[in-house]
Structure 1
Amino acid sequence: EARGIPAGPINTLTEVFDDPQVQHRRLHRQLTRGELEVPQVANPLRFDGDSATSEVAPPRLGQNSDAILAEMGLTPDDIARLRRAGVVR
């Protein structure tokens, strides 16, 4: 701050959801992914009074890897090789 570099705290999820501004703006959301409840912070921006927050929980790690890599032009063999090497899940 003394040198004019914008910065802020990095909070844990508990600290985020305990924040008075997050509570006041009702930004804490729980989204469901299968049987799992996923805590989320809603998008604080409003457009014509409406939130631009997704209603879909984020994917699991690696859930869409095959589709994304195939879309990038990788073959199933390429993807399998990356997976064996531990590059992707």
Structure 2
Amino acid sequence: PTHPYAHGLLGSIPRLDAPRGEPLNPIRGSINDKIAWADGCAFAPRCDHYTMECLTGTPELTEPRTAGHQVRCVNPVLPKAEVPA
């Protein structure tokens, strides 16, 4: 997945091959249902990849390098092989 939220969800799943007692990797923060999200990404306050651009406007739906998948994110998570040096 390329959206940081989906990436975080998959990263928080317990692994069967992990040593017993290894802590889970949760998504930090908590959802605040008191905020009325008019603009920007609702996940931005909890995202490790957010930029100021994430807080305003609505990101375009784009198709990253994975054919057939789309993401509405201005700073998607790229596979390690594609991260610019």
| Superposed pair shares fold, TM > 0.5 | no
Structure with the higher strand share, 1 or 2: 1
Larger radius of gyration: 1
TM-score, scaled to structure 1: 0.22
TM-score, scaled to structure 2: 0.22
Structure with the higher helix share, 1 or 2: 1
